[in-house]
């Protein structure tokens, strides 16, 4: 039996796939502790893992946290990314690290499994491997590590066909300048802990971890000639709404009309004007059935539904997606992976966080189209939705990804990685005086 600590910032899209991970490690008999925010305490306990709270300075409710920064709403592109890097990722890092160290001091662990935004795990890498548990990054967002073959993470730019590496070098220089404030914050916090600044860009900490397990398949990720040897593709692990009950209108999905499913996920779903409302307007006159999921918001918050639309707070995706012709989304990584499991082609809109990177991979992999705007017009949505529906190449590409996902190792990949790393002799409870490497 291994002793495992799982760690995530308290954001729904980051925590949800790791709940699946926790439950499967518990099922096989491992001792699992889960460090995250108080909002998810009950969900962690339901997996059988032990909940470990983050301190107040690292805890927040992702449904309202960013709304407390009204200046963020006006930001776009790199400026929005810099804001999120500073306030969501960088500033909580020291408190996250201290929570991990205290958790280890209370009871040693063999491995720490953390998602990319939990930078407290990155701080652990300054300790000698013999003095700490194995540290594994779990890729619940698009692969974010640096590469000569890829633009800096967050820009939403796929590899260029011409002069790609030169472009990436130039972009990296500009990106570092634009992100100087969050980099300074993380450097200062790292220096408080270890006496030196952060030795790598913080999106790149996964390439320095003992292993990186990405929750997708290679065909949905850019190739990297300099990828770390310990990069593994497990395929998607998380369920999304599969336990939801069938709505009363379910019989309308009888195959007489193609189904277009539109959702803004469970967090970025306050403003329906971003995706849901314009999609309803775009398709009101089409011979399709538009199926809306509000992601938990009450149905009476929706705008008036046209005659060809149906809505529910949550939907059973394992029942819905096999009936779906096109999946329309604001770019949530977990939802896109779930749609691809069923070979459903995608239309993704623009947004903040990792959404530009998700949309870029949708177009690069050929599984759909992306609209760069966070608030696309109904004509733009109608154009791209109908193109994805009528042009078979998109569904064919999605089905190729689905076939690759069907044979992906899933949890077994992660379990094998952890078991192999745990077999390496190590002192699992580091002291604060550990010698940096």
Q: Which residues of 119-156 are buried (b: 16+ CB within 10 A; e: fewer)?
A: bbbbbbbbbeeebbbbbbbbbbbbbbbbbebbbbbbbb
Region at 156 (left for phi over 0; alpha for psi -120 to 50; beta for the rest): left
pLDDT band at 333 (very low <50, low <70, confident <90, very high): very high
For residue 85, the 8-state DSSP code is I
**Contact call for residues 294 and 313 (beta carbons, < 8 A):** yes
The phi and psi torsions of 110 (rounded to 5 degrees) equal -90, -30
CA dihedral over 178, 350, 157, 360, signed as positive or negative: positive
Could you report the per-residue pLDDT of 142-164, keeping only the tens digit for each? 999 999 999 999 899 999 999 99
Amino acid 67: pLDDT: 59
Distances (CA, A) of 211 to 125, 232, 331, 421: 12, 8, 26, 9
CATH topology of domain 3-235+408-422: Rossmann fold (3.40.50)
What's the rounded mean pLDDT across residues 401-412?
97
Spans of all domains in the chain: 3-235+408-422, 250-406
pLDDT in tens, 265-285: 866 667 898 999 999 999 999
Give the distance, in angstroms, between the CA of residue 43 and the centroid of all CA atoms in the same chain.
Answer: 18
Q: State the distance between the two ends of the chain, measured CA to CA, in whole angstroms.
A: 29
Residue keyed to tokens 């890729």:
139
Q: Which residue has the tokens 């094998």?
A: 416
Structure-block tokens of residue 259: 């189904």
**Torsion on CA atoms 375, 379, 384, 387, rounded to nearest 10:** 170
Residue with tokens 């795990």: 121
pTM of the model: 0.91
On the CB side of 130, how many CA atoms lie within 13 Å of its CA?
Answer: 2
pLDDT at 374: 86
pLDDT tier at 66, thresholds 50, 70, 90? low
Between residues 134 and 66, the one the model is more confident about: 134
**CB of 32 within 8 A of CB of 50?**
yes
Tell the residue number behind the tokens 């300099």, with chain if given.
226
Q: How are strands ordered across the β-sheet holding 134-139?
A: 50-53, 31-36, 3-7, 111-114, 134-139, 211-214, 231-233
Q: Mean pLDDT across the chain, nearest whole number?
A: 91
For the domain made up of 250-406, the CATH class stated in words is alpha beta
Q: Residue 81: is its pLDDT beyond 80?
A: no
* Distance from C-alpha of 2 to C-alpha of 16, rounded to nearest angstrom: 22
Check whether 427 has a pLDDT greater than 50: no
Cα separation, 94 vs 79, whole angstroms: 23
Q: What is the CA radius of gyration of the chain?
A: 21
Q: What are the pLDDT digits (tens) for 229-241? A: 999 999 998 655 4
């Amino acid at each position: 039996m291994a002793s495992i600590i799982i760690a995530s910032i308290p954001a729904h899209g980051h925590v949800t796939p790791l709940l699946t991970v926790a439950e499967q490690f518990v099922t096989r008999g491992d001792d699992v502790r889960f460090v995250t925010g108080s909002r998810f305490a009950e969900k962690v306990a339901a997996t059988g893992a032990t909940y470990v709270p983050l301190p107040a300075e690292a805890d927040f409710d992702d449904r309202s946290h960013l709304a407390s920064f009204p200046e963020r709403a006006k930001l776009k592109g790199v400026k929005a990314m810099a804001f999120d890097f500073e306030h969501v990722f960088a500033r909580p890092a020291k408190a996250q690290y201290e929570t991990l160290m205290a958790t280890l001091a209370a009871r040693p662990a063999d491995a720490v499994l953390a998602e990319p935004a939990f930078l407290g795990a990155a701080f652990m890498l300054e300790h000698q491997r013999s003095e700490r548990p194995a540290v594994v990054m779990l890729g619940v967002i698009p692969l974010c590590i640096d590469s000569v073959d890829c633009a800096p993470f967050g820009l939403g730019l796929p590899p260029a066909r011409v002069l790609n590496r030169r472009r990436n070098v130039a972009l990296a220089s500009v990106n570092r300048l634009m992100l100087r404030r969050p980099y300074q914050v993380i450097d200062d916090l790292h220096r408080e802990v270890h006496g030196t600044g952060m030795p790598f860009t913080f999106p790149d900490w996964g390439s320095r971890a003992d292993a990186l397990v990405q929750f997708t398949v290679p065909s949905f990720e850019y190739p990297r000639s300099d990828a770390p040897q310990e990069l593994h593709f497990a395929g998607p692990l998380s369920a999304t709404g599969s336990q939801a009950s069938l709505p009363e209108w379910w019989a309308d999905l009888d195959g007489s009309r193609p189904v277009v499913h539109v959702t803004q996920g469970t967090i970025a779903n306050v403003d329906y004007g971003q995706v849901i409302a314009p999609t309803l307007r775009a398709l009101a006159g089409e011979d399709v059935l538009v199926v809306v999921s509000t992601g938990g918001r009450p149905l009476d918050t929706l705008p008036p539904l046209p005659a060809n639309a149906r809505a529910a707070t949550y939907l059973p995706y394992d029942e819905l997606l096999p009936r779906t012709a096109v999946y329309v989304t604001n770019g949530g990584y977990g939802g896109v992976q779930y749609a691809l499991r069923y070979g459903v082609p995608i239309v993704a809109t623009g947004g903040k966080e990792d959404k530009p990177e998700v949309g870029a991979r949708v177009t690069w992999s050929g599984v759909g189209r992306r609209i760069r705007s966070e608030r696309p017009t109904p004509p733009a949505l109608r154009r791209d939705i109908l193109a994805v529906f009528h042009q078979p190449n998109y569904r064919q590409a999605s089905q190729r990804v689905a076939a690759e996902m069907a044979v992906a190792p899933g949890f077994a990949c992660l379990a094998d990685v952890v078991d192999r790393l745990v077999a390496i002799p190590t002192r699992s409870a580091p002291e604060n005086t550990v010698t940096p490497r």
